[in-house]
Structure 1
């Protein structure tokens, strides 16, 4: 059973909005394109795990596709969490190309790709930290603590995984994404004592969903350039030369129209500038002059309305970016 489905990370949406509105020859465009590609690769790796688990549906398993739970003064994130009556499994997903080698003694992952070597954090250690945080979270909420197993999946089938020192921990914890259903099946043979009743599983599921806190972007933390292109982008020729004429948007370059071209622009504003939007801010961003037109656009998008008519502001509802 899927208790929570995966959605596109907000970071991807933000970097897409930045790269969409940066001029082609902007000096920082390659930087943001690189960040966008890294986040997309990570998301693709997580979706691969979702896919392979879906090929082996199991009514005894409750699956959470991404969780973000409060911990002390911050949060901890889990790519995939599996709950059963006998154990809990945490899956950390990686999507790296080239050749990788995990060294648990030095707590690092080395990647060789296109003739260059990069060092990353040990993903097994990352999963162990998540396990520790989750165990504390369960105890804090007076929930039973079953065995918590951890795995790291490598989604790119062309990636070469090396374990020259033959570390048993590496061989056991790291596997291809396609292997993960079989690793979960092995856990069923290993853990045969029921630690969570059906009632317990339902309670844990309910509390996890209740305490999940989606990431809310803080635009300044992304160091967004100030010289982004404003306006409405034409969905046909991709230029930002659309004008609002008689209830639709007309592209001044290709001549085509699009009635709802403003929707992406409004989302871009929330992602790049602020979770609060006023009528005048919308007019300035979309390059429209009519206050009434801006009001009609804002009301058509079913946004949350705050304040009185004079000082009214709008904000995105839950799942607005899904």
Structure 2
């Protein structure tokens, strides 16, 4: 039973918004692009895992996605299955190319199109997450339940290899082996340890204590507001800025016109700067001069002006309102898999 769905990472949305408003010549652009690609691939990998998890969506299981818990330190879990006999923690990897493991040195390398990258052995990460989860459970009064970890690769274009004659840790699998591995765990732990009602209580407590990451990319990348390019971005060709005519926006590059193109700009402002916007800030971000036009555009969105109209409240939902930032139309210049 699914009790917590995936969350769109706020860090991903903020990076996507910055990426499309930062000149490609900016010294931090490539770093931001690479980090965005990594977040994007990770998020899409978590979604891709759902295809393989559907058979586990049964009444005796409680499934949670995108958990970020804290007990002495913060830890993140991609997917967690609470079973009466055991708990299964799944770390998702969405990499393509040749992936090599050296468990002796605690390393994983990925080679793709002649480009080699090094990562920490994901087993170390998974074991650390399992340890922290066990501590969290003990603090909640739950002990004696086995916590198993799996590192699951979801991309069909990945080749998993090993260094020398070492065996790849059996907890590292491709997604198509997930069902078999789950059945093996069921055979390994035949004893029912927790009633279904207790699993629900544990799951609800995890949802209650879930703390999504609040990212501050301006601080992380040492950016200033001046680095961000204002203006209405054309949803068709990305040209900036679209010009304001009587009642609509028009792109001078492709000729596309839109009545509502400024809404995505307000969403960008919400992610990057503040959940309130003044008329002056709106005119700067829309790249228009008319105070009246800016006021009318804000009022039409039912945004409430505060302090005699000094500022307007922006109210957007990160799970629902930012699909325009989750497009996969860009090439994977960073070497990660963005599209399954």
1:172 is paired with a residue whose SS is coil
- Contact 2:48/2:154, CA 8 A, preserved across alignment: yes
Structure 1 residue 90 and structure 2 residue 89: aligned? yes
Q: CA deviation at 1:28?
A: 4.2
State the match for 2:220 in structure 1.
221
Q: Give the corresponding residue for 2:65.
A: 65
Q: Please, which runs of 5 or more residues in structure 1 have no aligned partner?
A: none
Judging changes above 3 Å, is the alpha-carbon distance between structure 1 residues 154 and 229 closer, same or farther for their aligned structure 2 residues? same
Residues 222 and 268 (structure 1), Cα distance of their counterparts in 2 relative to 1, 3 Å cut: farther
Contact 1:110–1:120, Cα closer than 8 Å, also in 2: yes
- Kept in 1, the 8 Å contact 2:298–2:312? The answer is no
**1:111–1:279 CA distance, 2 compared to 1 (3 A):** same
2:202 maps to 204
Bigger shift: 251-260 or 86-95? 251-260
Give how far 1:296 is off: 4.3
Structure 2 Cα separation of the partners of residues 166 and 197 of structure 1: 43
Deviations 1:264-301 (A, max 9, x none): 21121222234443332222211233445434444555
Distance 1:180-1:265 versus aligned 2 partners, 3 A rule: same
Mean Cα deviation higher: 225-234 or 159-168? 159-168
- TM-score normalised according to structure 1 size: 0.86
* Cα offsets for 1:70-93 (capped at 9, x unmatched): 333x52111111111111111111
Deviations 1:89-112, CA, capped at 9 Å, x for gaps: 111111223322223332221233
CA distance in 2: counterparts of 1:221 and 1:275, whole angstroms: 20
Matched length:
319
2:150 alignment partner, SS class: strand
1:99 corresponding residue in structure 2: 98
Q: Which moved more, 1:4-13 or 1:128-137?
A: 4-13
Counterpart-to-counterpart distance in 2, 1:312 and 1:145:
54
CA-atom RMSD in angstroms: 2.7
**Residues 314 and 228 of structure 1: is their aligned pair in 2 closer, same or farther, counting only changes over 3 Å?**
same
Greater mean deviation of Cα atoms: 240-249 or 195-204: 240-249
Whether contact under 8 Å (1:135, 1:145) holds in the other structure is no
